[in-house]
Chains A and B, each alone.
Chain A
Amino acid sequence: MSENKNTEHRAQKTDITRRKFLAGLAACASALSLPLNADASMLEEYFRQHFKRLDKDELNTILKNLEKEFSQKYEKAVTVKATPAMEDVLFGYTLDVSRCIGCRKCVYACIKENNQSRNPQIHWIKDLEFKRDEKWFHFKDSEPYYDPPEVPQKGRFYLPVQCQQCKNPPCVKVCPVKATWQEPDGIVVVDYNWCIGCRYCMAACPYEARRFNWGKPDIPKEELNPNMHYLGNRPRPKGVVEKCTWCIQRTREGRYPACIEICPTGARKFGNLLDPESDVRQVLDNFRVFRLKEDLGTNPKFFYFFSLGTHIKAK
């Protein structure tokens, strides 16, 4: 016990001195690399701590600064929150493949809600079309660019894929700088200020759920969603990775994600896995469900199922 404390203490001590040293070094370097007109907030951003080590005041100042920056840039009142996870909540998601018609309404609701870049284009949700009579489950056998006049098409079914919020997320494991991690409510988040853009996480993700900002993101001012979360839909800089957070800015306040609200078929369900009465538990307790690439042991909290059997339809 006391042993433990000692080492912890020592670690802290060395950490502080190392941090001071690094800060000093960085200060020298930054004197050269920072633009001459750098103001306090730029310096702050330069020396910012990891999100999890920020204290309340530091975090509040950061949020206030971001609000100011975005409000100015997008010419509307913006709020940036960092609402923490609720207690006794573990989020889960279910999707009824037999009722999804592949209309892609979720894709576009997500773009708007989460301030995704329109150009270069970033889509967090990818809707895959499969042929009924072929082997499936291999993303490469699917057609993500389908564009018939009407959906659903005969003999096809649709499988929307977004971040599966794995309980054992490979993306978190490979991040060399701990810029992505799993929150207590199960959402895997990215701190865009900490991400160095190495894209290891994208290579590690078996679901192709992460996106990289190759260019400067472009969000039309009038379409910006001003309700933001630090770990979610705040506008991202160029050169960082982003992905679905189950609309952390909505769900941490008790609301449904945007994809749930928009889905015209009701195929999507979201809720607390620990609450036996939740929408997702109604599915898990009554249907046989499956997860994508289950054999990889990623343990996703995103479940798929078929509520309607495969059968000969009327007409």
Chain B
Amino acid sequence: MAQFNWYQRILFSVMLCVAAAAVVFVSSGDILAAEGMAQEENILDRPLEEIVGQLAPQNQLTLFPCSDCHNDLPPNPKKRELGEPHNELPGIFKHDAKNRWCLDCHDMRNRDKLRLLNGALVDFKEYYRLCEQCHGRIYREWKVGVHNKITGHWKGEKQYWHCAKCHNPHDPVFKPQKPAPPPRKPTEIYIKTKK
């Protein structure tokens, strides 16, 4: 067995410590790298279509394409009462109505498109990009299915619901409903129906 003197021993243990530290450092580097990977794979960054799998059918627009009429109409950005066919809309419009008007969301020149705050145009079927601008947190929760309704299969095909199925963009408050009848009280749980 080889004999070591004191400084060889110290040198040896220092080397051991350095080696151990290096191992720890490298492996923690690995962990960080792995975390980076995990972050890259963040569910929120994936394309919407992939996450929400399949969106349930969208609302059927009754007036689309808008250009059928609007190609021949001079655009009028003035906030006002509207005649046919939109005579009801200004009345129900309650979405920050004090500060907004139709053409904050609908494009003035190309009525078949929606308009983001930065001026970019998006299709009606991507209307949710509109909502994302102001309701970012809820939009994220919608994307992962929390602020959402998912039907179909927990294992298998799912359908995610559109914001516009639950919130009318012009009057977005979730509409109150009549509740189904309350349960019978224990004292009347059994109702004799015959004789």
Interface residues of A (CB under 8 A from B): 86, 96, 99, 101-105, 107-108, 119-121, 123, 126, 144-152, 214-215, 251, 254-256, 260-261, 263-266, 269-272, 277-279, 282-283, 286-287, 307, 314-315
With A254-B155, A272-B155: A147-B182 Cβ-Cβ less than 8 Å: yes
12 residue pairs of the A-B complex, CB under 8 angstroms, read: A104-B182, A108-B180, A121-B189, A146-B179, A147-B181, A214-B189, A254-B154, A255-B153, A264-B166, A266-B149, A272-B154, A315-B94
Flag if A145 contacts B183 (CB, 8 Å). Answer: yes
Q: How far is the CA of A254 from the CA of B152 in the complex (A)?
A: 9
Contact of A149 among B144, B161, B174, B178 (CB under 8 A): B178
Q: How far is the CA of A134 from the CA of B35 in the complex (A)?
A: 44
Give, as a whole number of angstroms, the nearest-CB distance from B120 to chain A.
27
Q: Is the interface of A mostly helix, strand, loop or mixed?
A: loop
CB within 8 Å of A: which B133-161 residues: 141, 144-156, 161
Contact of B179 among A104, A260, A261 (CB under 8 A): A104
Contacts of B189 in A (CB 8 A): 120-121, 214
Q: B16 within 8 Å of A by Cβ?
A: no
From A158, which residue of chain B is reached at the shortest CB distance? Answer: B179
Contacts of B179 in A (CB 8 A): 102-104, 146-148, 150-151
Contacts of B191 in A (CB 8 A): 119-121
Q: How far is the CA of A147 from the CA of B154 in the complex (A)?
A: 33
Interface residues of B (CB under 8 A from A): 43, 94, 141, 144-156, 161, 166, 173-174, 176-185, 189-191, 193
Contacts of A146 in B (CB 8 A): 179, 182
Give, as a whole number of angstroms, the nearest-CB distance from B186 to chain A.
10
Closest 5 CB pairs of A and B: A266-B149, A104-B180, A254-B155, A150-B176, A120-B190
Q: How far is the CA of A119 from the CA of B189 in the complex (A)?
A: 8
Give, as a whole number of angstroms, the nearest-CB distance from B146 to chain A.
6
Q: How far is the CA of A254 from the CA of B179 in the complex (A)?
A: 30
Give, as a whole number of angstroms, the nearest-CB distance from A99 to chain B.
7
Flag if B190 contacts A254 (CB, 8 Å). Answer: no
Q: How far is the CA of A261 from the CA of B149 in the complex (A)?
A: 8
Contact of B153 among A86, A120, A214, A256 (CB under 8 A): A256
With A107-B180, A119-B193, A120-B190: A282-B144 Cβ-Cβ less than 8 Å: yes
Flag if B145 contacts A261 (CB, 8 Å). Answer: no
Give, as a whole number of angstroms, the nearest-CB distance from B136 to chain A.
14
Give, as a whole number of angstroms, the nearest-CB distance from A126 to chain B.
7
Give, as a whole number of angstroms, the nearest-CB distance from A288 to chain B.
13
Give, as a whole number of angstroms, the nearest-CB distance from B102 to chain A.
19
Contacts of B94 in A (CB 8 A): 315
Contacts of A147 in B (CB 8 A): 179, 181-182
Q: How far is the CA of A200 from the CA of B191 in the complex (A)?
A: 26
Give, as a whole number of angstroms, the nearest-CB distance from A24 to chain B.
40
Flag if A256 contacts B176 (CB, 8 Å). Answer: no
From A149, which residue of chain B is reached at the shortest CB distance? Answer: B178
Q: How far is the CA of A214 from the CA of B187 in the complex (A)?
A: 13
Give, as a whole number of angstroms, the nearest-CB distance from A21 to chain B.
41
Flag if A101 contacts B174 (CB, 8 Å). Answer: yes
With A152-B176, A214-B190, A265-B166: A99-B147 Cβ-Cβ less than 8 Å: yes
Flag if B177 contacts A151 (CB, 8 Å). Answer: yes
With A103-B177, A254-B156, A315-B173: A260-B151 Cβ-Cβ less than 8 Å: yes
Flag if B180 contacts A266 (CB, 8 Å). Answer: no
